[in-house]
C-alpha cells in the first residue's frame, strides 16, 4: 500500500514561515490535499489538488508537489495556526484513501 511520510513536529516563531513535507514514492504524480486539525475539532481542508485553496482559506497557506515530496507552506505564521496537519492522496491503483502520519505545528 502507498505510504505518506510526514515529520512528527515543526516549530516556528510567529511571523515566520512553516514548511511541512509529505514524502511518498513519485508523489508528484498524485493529487495531494492538506488538512488542518485543531484540538478537539474535525479536520478542515486547507489546500487541495497540490496548490488550490478552498474559499475562506487565507493566501498564507500554499502547496507544491514534485518528485517524491509535497510541501505545505504557511507564511506569516500566527498562534491560530497551531494544529495538526495531514496530507492525503487517493491511490487509484487500488482505490484507497491514504493519509500521512500527521505533523504538529507549534508556534513558539
Of positions 5, 21, 28, 44, contacts other proteins by CB under 8 A:
44
Work out whether 92 is an interface residue with other proteins (CB under 8 A): yes
Q: How far is the CB of 50 from other proteins (least distance, A)?
A: 10
Closer residue to other proteins, CB minimum distance, 24 or 102? 102
DSSP lists the bridge partners of residue 75 as none
Q: 54-79: buried (b, 16+ CB within 10 Å) or exposed (e) per residue?
A: eeebeebbbbebeeeebbbebeebee
Residue 48 grid cell: 487541495
To other proteins, the closest distance from the beta carbon of 13 in angstroms equals: 26
CB 74 within 8 A of CB 105: yes
Q: Does the protein bind other proteins through residue 53 (CB under 8 A)?
A: no
Among 28, 60, 82, 90, binds other proteins (CB under 8 A): 90
Amino acid at each position: 500500500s502507498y505510504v505518506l511520510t510526514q515529520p512528527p513536529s515543526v516549530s516556528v516563531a510567529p511571523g515566520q514561515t512553516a514548511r511541512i513535507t509529505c514524502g511518498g514514492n513519485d508523489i508528484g504524480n498524485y493529487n495531494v490535499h492538506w488538512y488542518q486539525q485543531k484540538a478537539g475539532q474535525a479536520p478542515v481542508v486547507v489546500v487541495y489538488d497540490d496548490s488550490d485553496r478552498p474559499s475562506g482559506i487565507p493566501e498564507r497557506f500554499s502547496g507544491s508537489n514534485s518528485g517524491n515530496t509535497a510541501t505545505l507552506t504557511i507564511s506569516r505564521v500566527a498562534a491560530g495556526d497551531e494544529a495538526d496537519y495531514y496530507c492525503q492522496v487517493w491511490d487509484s491503483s487500488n482505490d484507497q484513501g491514504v493519509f500521512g502520519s500527521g505533523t504538529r505545528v507549534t508556534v513558539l
